[in-house]
Amino acid sequence: MTEDDPFDLEKLRLNAEDLRGYVGKAAAVPHGRRQDRFIIVPVLWADRLADARYTSTLKLVLHLLYEHWKRGGQPVPLSNVSLSSAGVNRRTKWRALGELERLRLIEVERRPRKSPRVTLLKT
């Protein structure tokens, strides 16, 4: 091989000094930095949500699907505080829950003086 060959493997090898400089660099990502998140919506849900009347229903669905995934498929307790960041207030929460029940996408366990517990169906 010639000295000017850009594919010369000996020129591309890392030496011991270079390796010491790279060790531990991968773990240097700051904690708490928010990663890009995404939500997977089942096709059955998308088809049924075509009949939804309120935008709060769609906001609630996105919140529920993410929380359902995050909790490993367990029922989701739905507090007013957790929904405020999604732009859903307490009145529209109940209207959206009723609509999702009507569309047969969720079951709601209503508990006196506590947040409702929502179970997602057919996910």
Please give the model's pTM, rounded to 2 decimal places: 0.69
At 60-98, the pLDDT tens digits run: 999 999 999 999 999 999 999 999 988 999 999 999 999
Q: Mean pLDDT over residues 41-58, rounded?
A: 93
Strand, helix or coil for residue 54: coil
Domain range 43-120, CATH architecture: Orthogonal Bundle (1.10)
pLDDT at position 24 is: 63
Alpha helices (H) along 23-89? 43-49, 55-70, 80-84
Q: Which secondary-structure segment (H or E) carries 39?
A: none
The number of residues making up the chain comes to: 123
